[in-house]
Amino acid sequence: EIVLTQSPTTMAASPGEKVTLTCRASSSVSYMYWYQQKSGTSPKLWIYDTSKLASGVPNRFSGSGSGTSYSLTISSMETEDTATYYCQQGRSYPFTFGSGTKLEIK
Amino acid sequence: EVQLQESGPGLVKPSQSLSLTCSVTGYSITSNYWGWIRKFPGNKMEWMGYISYSGSTSYNPSLKSRISITRDTSKNQFFLQLNSVTTEDTATYYCARTGRRPLYFDYWGQGVMVTVSS
């Protein structure tokens, strides 16, 4: 099973600040997927195929990476970005998720 | 618009079976793949399994022989059955759709919280 390790676990960013969330895989994967989950709601697909933004996702978000190291970046933090972000791999069964990064606004 | 809605009991006794239904509107379950994912208290998420457009299934080995995913194409619904539940199965259960290849989940239900307790 591929284990995904996200860092940091929790972080707070000021409005306008650049934010980078990291996801490391225990084995190489071809792509990484990211979900945003706000309190009391279901996860939403946020980034797919490592770097493609899902429908409706603001272009201040970007994704990158390869092999075992991937990241989600927000170029300029906004209040509405407060959420927990999960990475997920679909390279091998069982599909696995990271433990999430909780992102808050300062 | 694709919409998924979970339904089922919110409380199940230990050793009994957990049964959930996912009702899909706006898209046929005879296309794509349809899965179940759960989120435990403390935020860990686990993929449980899926049923494909053809009815074939794939399950997380961690659930061994306890899990079954089936469907009713006439009602555009698919189902989760998890047997011999324990308190460790307490979680929020989500149904979700994958793309044409089962790589990621692009539409999710709102989730149903299931507590296992006597």
pLDDT per position as a tens digit, B44-60: 999 999 999 999 999 99
Mean pLDDT of A42-51: 97
pLDDT range class, residue A62, cuts 50, 70, 90: very high
Task: Look at residue A106 in the predicted model and tell me its pLDDT.
Answer: 94
Residues 60-89 of A with CB under 8 A from B: 84, 86, 88
Are residues B94 and A42, on separate chains, in Cβ contact within 8 Å? yes
CB count in 10 Å sphere of residue A25: 21
A5 to chain B: nearest residue by CA?
Answer: B44
How many residues would you count in chain A?
A: 106
Are residues B94 and A96, on separate chains, in Cβ contact within 8 Å? no
pLDDT range class, residue B102, cuts 50, 70, 90: confident
Are residues A54 and B60, on separate chains, in Cβ contact within 8 Å? no
User: What gap in Å lies between CA A66 and CA A50, rounded to an integer?
Assistant: 8
pLDDT range class, residue B101, cuts 50, 70, 90: confident
Query: How many secondary structure helices (H) and strands (E) does chain B include?
Result: 0, 11
pLDDT range class, residue B67, cuts 50, 70, 90: very high
Are residues B103 and A31, on separate chains, in Cβ contact within 8 Å? yes
How many residues would you count in chain B?
A: 118
The three-class DSSP label of residue B63 is: helix
Q: Which residues contact B74 (CB under 8 A, 6 or more apart)?
A: none
Residue of B44, B23, B48, B26 whose CA lies nearest to B35: B48
The shortest C-alpha distance from B108 to chain A (Å) reads 7
Contact between residue A87 and residue A98 where contact means Cβ atoms under 8 Å apart:
yes
The shortest C-alpha distance from B14 to chain A (Å) reads 26
Comparing CB atoms, the residue among B61, B62, B108 nearest residue A43 is: B108
